[in-house]
Structure formats: C-alpha cells, structure tokens
Amino acid sequence: MLEIRPADLSGDAAYKLLCGVVVPRPIAWVSTRSASGVSNLAPFSCFTFVSHRPPMLGVSIGRRPNGLKDTARNIHETQEFVVHIGDETLLDPLHRSGAEFPPEISEADLLGLELVPSKLVAPLRVAKAPIAMECRLHKVVDFGSNQFFAGEIQLFHIREGLAVDNKIDTGRLRPIARLGGPNYATLGEIIGMTPQAEQSSPQKSAVSWG
C-alpha cells in the first residue's frame, strides 16, 4: 500500500487526493444574491445533509487567495441561499457555472439559464432544476482552508412525478455526481437491498440474498 503523510503534501496535492478519494460526490448547485442584488450561481461538491429534523444542508467552501468566493460572501451578507440538484440535462451549465466570474456577473444570465423567484428567500432559483431547496443560514464553521455553511431548509421544490410519499425516484431524477479531476458520473445500476429492520426481525429471518 502507498503511504502518504499529509504533512508531505502541498495544499493543492491534498485537494487533488481528497477529490479522488471521496467519490462520487453529490453536487449542490447554489444560488445566492449579493447585498446589491446580483444573482450568483456556482456548484459545490463538498456537500451533504447534516440534520433531518430540522432538515439542514451543509456545503464546504474554500477561499481564494484574494478573499472569499462570491457564494460564501453572499451567504455571509444575506444569510440565504438555494441549493439545487442538477440532472444529466444540466451538466454543461452546471460545470460551466464553476468558472471564476467577477462578482458583478450573474452566471445564470451568462449561461442563458432561466431564474424564477423563490418563495421564502431572496435568491432566485433555477427553473429547470428538478429539485431546489430554499435555505436560511444556520451556522458557519471554519475548518482549516474551508468554511462550512450549514443552512436550514425552509422549502423543498420537487418536480412533479419525482417523489411518491416523500420518496424520490432516483432513476427518474438522473442526478450527476462529481469525481476527481474535471470528471463527472451519472447513475449506475441501482441495487435494492432488504431493509436492516427486516433482516434482524425473527419472523422474517428467511431473507433470500439471491
């Protein structure tokens, strides 16, 4: 086995290594609004949910040599953001929205993406995204090079036909994931398993694992 000590890695090398190790990563496509009203849209794959009651999402944002990324600065200033889940049809604009644009540029306008008003927060949402979650900032925590933004979901927007009884049909969602390098993945085979509760129940011990 190759042994690598973090102390021997530059920041860039550690970033590269982690991006290849933690895969596949879901992508938060985050819309924010600056204090002066400019819309901003950027993808972040250091992303997960951090609580289900109340529902909270977390995104880890790195710094630029000259200061904060627009998304981080906007969240600090306005406390609000919208997290979208992109599908395969949105891969190209999602990827391109990750380029470094000046703060006065709206990535969505530049990429020809329609934005529509959110209900409970000021940042607009991407009309074509199958899922959008309106969030209010809960807490920001510093972790080394990054700042972790946890937001509480105020409202879920789920495209008609995607959810039955609060269960998302992943096959229909067709989400995209981030891998190391500028690489992405689509959904592979979905493997259904027996719920653990049924495996451990004595009445249902005769589970076939085929």
Ligand X SMILES: Cc1cc2nc3c(=O)[nH]c(=O)nc-3n(C[C@H](O)[C@H](O)[C@H](O)COP(=O)(O)O)c2cc1C
Stretch that binds ligand X, among 9-17, 95-103, 109-117, 196-204 (CB under 6 A): 95-103
**What is the maximum span of the chain, computed from C-alpha positions, in angstroms?**
63
Q: What are the phi and psi torsion angles at 182 (to 5°)?
A: -85, 55
Binder to ligand X among 69, 93, 118, 133 (CB under 6 A)?
A: 69
Count of residues of this chain found to bind ligand X when the rule CB under 6 A is applied: 17
CA 196 to chain centre: 28
Q: How far is the CB of 101 from ligand X (least distance, A)?
A: 6
Stretch that binds ligand X, among 66-74, 81-89, 115-123, 152-160 (CB under 6 A): 66-74
Helices in the chain by DSSP H: which ranges? Answer: 11-21, 70-78, 91-96, 107-111, 170-173, 196-200
Q: For the purposes of burial, counting CB atoms within 10 Å of the CB of 93, is it exposed (0-12), middle (13-18) or buried (19 or more)?
A: buried
Q: Which of 156, 38, 186 is nearest to 102 (CA)?
A: 38
Q: How far is the CB of 156 from ligand X (least distance, A)?
A: 22
Q: How far is the CB of 72 from ligand X (least distance, A)?
A: 7
Q: Which of 76, 41, 43 is nearest to 148 (CA)?
A: 76
Decide: is 113 part of the binding site for ligand X (CB under 6 A).
no
Which of the residues 160 through 189 are near ligand X (CB under 6 A)? 178
Q: What mask of x and - would describe binding to ligand X in positions 23 to 62, judged by CB under 6 A? A: ----x------------x-xxxxx-------------xxx
Residues in contact with ligand X by CB under 6 A are 27, 40, 42-46, 60-62, 69-71, 95, 98, 100, 178
